[in-house]
Amino acid sequence: MRFHFINLRRYWYLLSLLIIIPGVISLLTRGLNLGIDFTGGNLMEVRFEKPAVIHEVRAVLRGHGLERVPIQQSGPGTFIIRTPFLSEDASGKLIEDLRSKIGELTVLRNEAVGPVIGRELMLRAIAALAVASVLMILYIWWRFEFRQGIAAVTAVLHDVLVTVGIFSLFQIEVNSPFVAAVLTVIGYSINDTIVIFDRIRENLRAAKQGEKIEDIVNASIWQTLARSINTVLTVLFMLVALYFLGGTTIRDFVLAMFSGVSGIAYSSIFNASPLWVDLKRLEGKKKVGE
């Protein structure tokens, strides 16, 4: 006998709350560990006389507690280093350390810069998310039905809260790659949920009179389960490889993607479809054709 996802949906809701609530509490009390893209810092561009590679520069930065800062190679032997605000003495020591351990260099620029992502831009991003949520509901309403749009957007918000909550709980630094990861998670989440909803629609059309909605949705989840799991595992395998082999710079992005994709695997199966069933039950339609 197959496991019945829908009949145990209250347990899935409870598990989601147990995952989300600690992150929300941390977000409200401690906030996020905002990185230099939000707070500003120093922008340093140096050019070495002899060839140099990024891992040499990062090795020097590690000695100053700056091993996770973004480094961009803009030309042969030329690097752009973005750090938190440094005093004149700290900046001078870093330059001297680069010179002594890698080779003679020329400082092309060394200046304080403001945040790339300011408060106004963040407010616009939140507004854009709200508009996108409304548009997703309208699209799913047009293609499926209104309640499925509400359920799908709720699953998206679940995945975003899981990702943001984990970063707040563990105070992982948040920079612009984190924003990119969250936007990617949103797009991936809605796609995974729509696949299940599409199968539910097909099964509803072929359902027998009086067949329970719960059984139809449960069968639909089972029919798409292998696809959902295989897709998520493929992405997770790639993310694990990137985490260990992709370098320090993208690790926070990979962590955000990993937590978001893991949340998607859960919410699309255990939250979106069961929530739609509950919304249907509120309408008093427990069986097809009633």
At residue 287, the pLDDT reads: 47
Residues 271 and 152 in one domain: yes
Residues 170 and 232 in one domain: yes
Q: Angle, nearest 10°, between helix axes 146-169 and 273-282?
A: 130
Residues 263 and 205 in one domain: yes
Residue spans of beta strands (DSSP E) within 151-213: 173-174
For residue 66, the enclosing domain spans 41-113
The rounded distance, in Å, linking the Cα atoms of 71 and 54 is 7
Residues 155 and 90 in one domain: no
DSSP H or E stretch at residue 165: helix 146-169
CATH number for the domain spanning 148: value is 1.20.1640.10
pLDDT along the chain (290 residues), means of 10: 84 94 94 82 89 90 87 86 88 92 91 72 74 84 88 90 93 85 85 89 86 91 91 92 83 91 90 92 59
Main-chain phi, psi angles of 73, to 5 degrees: -90, 115
**Number of folded domains that form the chain:** 2
CA 242 to chain CA mean position, Å: 15
Q: Is residue 4 part of a domain?
A: no
At residue 285, the pLDDT reads: 52
Alpha-carbon distances of 182 from 177, 222, 256, rounded to whole Å: 9, 28, 7
At residue 141, the pLDDT reads: 87
Residues 271 and 128 in one domain: yes
Residue 119: partners with Cβ closer than 8 Å, 6 or more residues away = none
At residue 119, the pLDDT reads: 64
Residue 237's CB is within 10 A of a number of other CB atoms, namely: 10
Q: Is residue 2 part of a domain?
A: no
- Find the angle CA(99)-CA(105)-CA(107) to the nearest 5 degrees: 110
User: What does the DSSP assignment read for 182-197?
Assistant: HHHHHHHHHHHHHHHH
Q: Is residue 278 part of a domain?
A: yes
For residue 91, the number of C-alpha atoms closer than 13 Å in the C-beta half-sphere is 19
Residues 23 and 62 in one domain: no
Torsion angle of alpha carbons 20, 22, 27, 32, nearest 10°? -90
The rounded distance, in Å, linking the Cα atoms of 95 and 166 is 35
Q: Is residue 288 part of a domain?
A: no
The rounded distance, in Å, linking the Cα atoms of 102 and 168 is 37
CATH number for the domain spanning 85: value is 3.30.70.3400
Domain limit, last residue, from 113, 145, 173: 113
DSSP H or E stretch at residue 255: helix 251-267
Domain limit, last residue, from 113, 143, 170: 113
Residues 131 and 224 in one domain: yes
Residues 162 and 69 in one domain: no
At residue 209, the pLDDT reads: 78
Amino acid found at 25: I
Residues 86 and 130 in one domain: no
At residue 140, the pLDDT reads: 86
